[in-house]
Structure 1
Amino acid sequence: MRADRLVSLVLLLRQHGRLSASALADRLEVSRRTVLRDVEALSAAGVPVYAERGRHGGFALLPGFRTELTGLNHDEALALLIAGARRGARSFGLGSALASALLKVLDALPESQRATAAGAAQRLLIDPETDLLARRVAAEDEEVPEAVVAQVRRAVFAGHRLRIHYEAVGRSPQWRTVDPLGLVTVREQGYLLATRDGEDRTYRLSRILAAEELPEPARRPDRVDLDRTWRERSTRFRTGGEQVAVLLRLTPDRREELARTALVLGPEETEPDGRLRLEATFQDPRHAEWALWQLAPHAEALSPQWLRASLHTRAAAIATRYESPP
């Protein structure tokens, strides 16, 4: 890890010309003392880094210290920078690795290509956070801990079984052992495709609380078509089971919260009081009741009637419980 940090320090100085110890510490997420030790190590290794004193001082490299990557043309470099603008790598815990890799690629380009490629990349926006109607694109609020996703990645790549502590919607977390097939990211949400006791299973990475790569090999085929597997599972998920369609009213500021838990959101319209009227599909009756209860009092189920009755019964019980002092 220190070797990677030293390389990143050199590349930061190459990109910015001069940076203070505090600025380097912030970018590298280490202490100022660590930065000073790293600078000493680079100097001892022959890297021409020097310190400039004064109010606007800092560390810099001697001019001309560089190596150039000559195998990339302008369009190839631009394609890499655009790929790096996509947020999917963050779902797999690779966001910092991708940023570091792109920094190395950009830095190693010849001078004539570096400025034009970086400038062109600024003219392209990939996967913005809002759509054309200024509606925020639904995404996971919680990022997956790096230690967890690292264990998942290693098990997937090594072909080992995986033990995960998983919290399904509306249920208590449970440990389970699975055979991982691959990883998928959809709109910044990462998923683990796996089998459990021979049955297909799909787990959202943000709901894996802990993970442990096991030494025994996974029971899985040598080759897998993830694209086809994902399409097949998505189709079964949308069309199978006891899915429940709920017509509801919702305050607009809670739409994202609903989008994160519902399977599908239908067309919506704005009522005179400003609330949204739309249909949401849930995995089963328990999922529907749990989701609407979490949104109370910002959501009102209009149908089906059994859901209204169930929510009324639960609310009445809570009101009775707190009606008198303890």
Structure 2
Amino acid sequence: MRADRLVSLVLLLRRHDRLSATALARELEVSTRTVLRDIEALSAAGVPVYAERGRHGGFALLPGFRTELTGLNHDEALALVVAGSRRGARAFGLGSALTSGMRKLLDALPDSPRATATDAVRRMLIDPETDLLARRVEPEETPDGVLAEIRRAVVAGHRLRIHYAAFEQAPRWRTIDPVGLVGVRDQAYLLAIRDGEDRTYKLSRVLAAEELREPARRPEHVDLDRAWRERSTRFRTGGDQVTVLLRLSPARRAELAGTALAILAEDTEDDGRLRVEVTFQDPRHAIWALWQLAADGEALSPAWLREALRERAAAVAARYRDGH
């Protein structure tokens, strides 16, 4: 929305002595031509913005100019609530709202604390996009319009219709009572109640959503952290769990512990490798986890798992055996 962009432009100029059109375009994620049009619009509206020419020139506001534009809108306030990480805000469709909300928050501070806070933002990073090995997991995207509809229903306490594609099932519509939203690493989930039963939906599988005007049939108060722990426990202890005996390089032990549901037994062999008995959620989980270990792990039992990994490895080898 252009009005929000004009506000952001003014706040950017308030925070800096001057900024070039290129720098403003980069911050606002628009073209330099759009920035120049916005500058003209601000000037016509009486905002004392002027251009300084030369190598270190740019656009600036007259000294002493202040605005009353620091009031946060609804989405910006929500974004700051989930601002423990930028990915958390993006998971719920609030990435741009977080950026503009933080600008307003900084602008509301007196000059000295604002300078300190601005420098602190540059020097502290929570939950970066990659680890030290540059491994990056691309989050599964949900359309902004769908996220906004879900978000409104959760906050307003309204029932919700979602077109949901469960794993290996055809998409179908469901009417649910939303309880809350949870972001876990690169994934986001909707906790809800359907037909009196707790349900957990992966947001990336919601194809469409419609907020209804009916009040949600949900508890008035909720401890979302506790609700998530309880549902996680039920997930881990349900399903077609499988127990696997494997041989493992000690260097990959922590990775396995973070992937498996539980380590049941562990011993060290004469060559230094570990002999470990672990539990996985289901056969797919076991195959995936062992495949990630590559040559650092070997499934000893059950036999069907060894065969599944052998077939997968043979298929990959065949793909690379002959030409391109």
Q: 1:52 to 1:69 in 2, by over 3 A?
A: closer
- CA shift, 1:292, in A, is 4.7
Alignment of 1:110 onto 2:107: no
Alignment of 1:62 onto 2:62: yes
Q: 1:314 to 1:212 in 2, by over 3 A?
A: same
Whichever residue aligns with residue 217 of structure 1, its letter is: E
Checking the alignment, whether the CA contact within 8 Å between 2:83 and 2:98 is kept in structure 1 is: yes
- The corresponding residue for 1:213 is 210
Checking the alignment, whether the CA contact within 8 Å between 1:250 and 1:276 is kept in structure 2 is: yes
- The corresponding residue for 1:288 is 286
- CA shift, 1:8, in A, is 0.6
Alignment of 1:144 onto 2:141: yes
- The corresponding residue for 1:160 is 159
Matches within 5 A, 1:247-262: 247-248=245-246, 262=259
Q: 1:47 to 1:203 in 2, by over 3 A?
A: same
Tell me, in whole angstroms, the C-alpha distance in 1 between the residues paired with 2:216 and 2:68.
45
Checking the alignment, whether the CA contact within 8 Å between 2:248 and 2:297 is kept in structure 1 is: yes
Whichever residue aligns with residue 62 of structure 1, its letter is: L
- The corresponding residue for 1:24 is 24
For residue 225 of structure 2, give the secondary structure of its aligned residue in structure 1. helix
- CA shift, 1:47, in A, is 0.7
Deviations 1:76-124 (A, max 9, x none): xxxx999845343232122321222121111121113222344456665
- CA shift, 1:165, in A, is 3.5
Checking the alignment, whether the CA contact within 8 Å between 2:159 and 2:175 is kept in structure 1 is: no
For residue 210 of structure 2, give the secondary structure of its aligned residue in structure 1. strand
Whichever residue aligns with residue 40 of structure 2, its letter is: E
Q: 1:184 to 1:275 in 2, by over 3 A?
A: farther
For residue 46 of structure 1, give the secondary structure of its aligned residue in structure 2. coil
- The corresponding residue for 1:227 is 225
Matches within 5 A, 1:1-326: 1-67=1-67, 84=83, 86-87=85-86, 88-119=88-119, 126-127=126-127, 140-145=137-142, 146-158=144-156, 159-166=158-165, 168=167, 171=168, 174-179=171-176, 180-205=178-203, 207-208=204-205, 210-215=207-212, 217=214, 220-225=217-222, 226-248=224-246, 262=259, 264=261, 281-289=279-287, 292=290, 300-312=298-310
Q: 1:37 to 1:69 in 2, by over 3 A?
A: closer
Tell me, in whole angstroms, the C-alpha distance in 2 between the residues paired with 1:321 and 1:31.
45
- CA shift, 1:25, in A, is 1.2
Tell me, in whole angstroms, the C-alpha distance in 1 between the residues paired with 2:271 and 2:164.
43
Checking the alignment, whether the CA contact within 8 Å between 2:250 and 2:274 is kept in structure 1 is: yes
Checking the alignment, whether the CA contact within 8 Å between 1:178 and 1:195 is kept in structure 2 is: no
Where does the alignment leave 5 or more consecutive residues of structure 2 unmatched? 71-78
Whichever residue aligns with residue 281 of structure 2, its letter is: Q
For residue 218 of structure 2, give the secondary structure of its aligned residue in structure 1. coil
Normalised by the length of structure 1, the TM-score is 0.73
Deviations 1:108-157 (A, max 9, x none): 211132223444566655456789xx688x98522534334223212322
Deviations 1:253-274 (A, max 9, x none): 99999899x4647599999999
Higher relative contact order (CA 8 A, sep 6+): 1
- The corresponding residue for 1:74 is none
Root mean square deviation of aligned Cα: 4.6
- CA shift, 1:28, in A, is 0.6
Q: Which moved more, 1:140-149 or 1:226-235?
A: 140-149
Normalised by the length of structure 2, the TM-score is 0.73
Q: 1:35 to 1:176 in 2, by over 3 A?
A: same
In percent, how many aligned pairs have the same letter? 63
Q: 1:220 to 1:289 in 2, by over 3 A?
A: farther
- CA shift, 1:173, in A, is 5.9
Q: 1:34 to 1:318 in 2, by over 3 A?
A: closer
Task: Give the number of equivalent residue pairs.
Answer: 309
Q: 1:129 to 1:6 in 2, by over 3 A?
A: closer
